[in-house]
Amino acid sequence: MLVGSIYGWEPGKDDLFDPLSLRNRDDCLEPMRELRKYALTKGIELHTVDVVKDLGLTPSFNLYVESISVDRSAPGKNCLLLLETSLTVPINDDFDYLNQFDEIFTWNMDLLGSRFNGAPNALLNHIGLTQIRLPNPVPHDFFGGYPPFGFASRPQFCCLIGSNRHASRFDGRELYSERVRAIRWFERNAPHQFHLYGNGWKVPRKRLGRLGKIIYRLEKVIPFLTRKPVFPSYQGAISTKWSALSRSRFCICFENARDIPGYLTEKIFDCFFAGCIPVYLGEKNIQNCISPECFIDFRNFKSYDDLYQYLSCMPESEFIKMQNAAREFIFSNAFMPFSSQIFASTIIDRIYRQIT
């Protein structure tokens, strides 16, 4: 039996394979369970690194989930599962770091291409690069039946689900601040038609840099003095995204960053599963992956006023048409590259060829 050791999940104890883990929100760990299940078909036993050491096993390979310092004492090939952008995890575009791996699995088309971060990719010429898509677990509620079509079962007009965060570096492509602009527009202009969900919105917008931290601390004084919420639309955290999306007609669905080729996360798919129509901004070439009939492209509007006019005047027949298009996409072959199963088989098949 071959052995794979997984780094980057602390504390480990194989928690990332446990569907009952407290960290398995919205079944986000399904891809890892699929990875382990498919690995077994190839005669590979997968564990977190602490379990491998406790059992006294010798790994054939080490899979790093996101950017963790490499354990140079560990035997076997080193592979990197690169999931986030460098705006969130800056080391993800550091050549010195990336060159420590034998194989990198990523969605990043720039890294997979001939140039990366403005430099020739020849700097990575000894590394194997394999394309993956970020996997999208199908919510358990979806298997109980697709939500009813139309407006009747959706008492909420529009929502936004996300955490109050900021990018890790200054970059014009970040969209954390754009989410805040969207929130503020709805709070000013359609306060009863907008609901904000997620973590961290009881305090002011998080900001980057020394000046940003000073502004943040000053802004924290205002709600303390006025006794008013910082974000009036904030409804609190939610147990599942489905619980909010299945009750909403539209969702402000902005990625963490825009115009990074290949960066397409679970956000738009969460909307599709729940029958909610996403207002999307992020992947520049999203129409090459998903039919424009399934979503509303925010780039088509000059302002939030124009967007609101479009949303509020949309006939129910048009809304149902978009719901149908999204449902058809989920059940089509076009969705398969974004599934947990394809994610798992792509990674394990590639590693298996390298270690056997």
Helix (H, G, I), strand (E, B) or coil at 217: helix
CA distance 292 to 311: 16
pLDDT at 14 over 90: yes
CA distance 327 to 270: 12
Helix (H, G, I), strand (E, B) or coil at 42: coil
Give kind and range of the element (H or E) at residue 274: helix 267-274
pLDDT level of residue 128 (50, 70, 90 thresholds): confident
pLDDT at 155 over 60: yes
**The pair of three-digit structure tokens given for residue 320, joined into one six-digit string:** 């149902």
Q: Of all residues in the chain, what percent carry a pLDDT higher than 90? A: 73
pLDDT at 33 over 90: yes
pLDDT level of residue 229 (50, 70, 90 thresholds): confident
pLDDT at 96 over 60: yes
Going edge to edge, which strands form the sheet with 77-82? Answer: 44-48, 2-7, 61-65, 77-82, 103-106, 128-131
On the question of a cis peptide bond just before residue 120, with omega within 30 degrees of 0, the verdict is no
Task: Tell me 264's DSSP state.
Answer: -
pLDDT attached to residue 121: 58
Higher-confidence residue of 185 and 215: namely: 185
Domain boundaries, the chain: 2-135+339-355, 140-335
pLDDT attached to residue 17: 95
> What are the beta bridge partners of residue 77?
61
Mean pLDDT of 19-42: 94
Query: Do 2-135+339-355 and 140-335 come out as alike in CATH topology?
Result: yes
CA distance 29 to 354: 25
pLDDT at 221 over 90: no
Q: Which of 88, 159, 151, 99 has the alpha carbon at shortest distance from 129? A: 99
pLDDT level of residue 164 (50, 70, 90 thresholds): very high
pLDDT attached to residue 228: 78
> What are the beta bridge partners of residue 82?
106
pLDDT at 235 over 70: yes
pLDDT attached to residue 106: 94
Amino acid at 219: E
Higher-confidence residue of 221 and 135: namely: 135
Helix (H, G, I), strand (E, B) or coil at 211: helix
pTM: 0.91
Give kind and range of the element (H or E) at residue 307: helix 304-312
Top-tier CATH class for 140-335: alpha beta
- Dihedrals φ, ψ of 196, to 5°? -105, 130
pLDDT at 119 over 60: no
Q: Which of 245, 248, 252 has the alpha carbon at shortest distance from 282? A: 252
- Are 233 and 195 in contact by the 8 Å Cβ rule? The answer is yes
Task: Tell me 301's DSSP state.
Answer: -
Give the domain 2-135+339-355 fold. Rossmann fold (3.40.50)
Average pLDDT, the chain: 91
- Are 74 and 42 in contact by the 8 Å Cβ rule? The answer is no
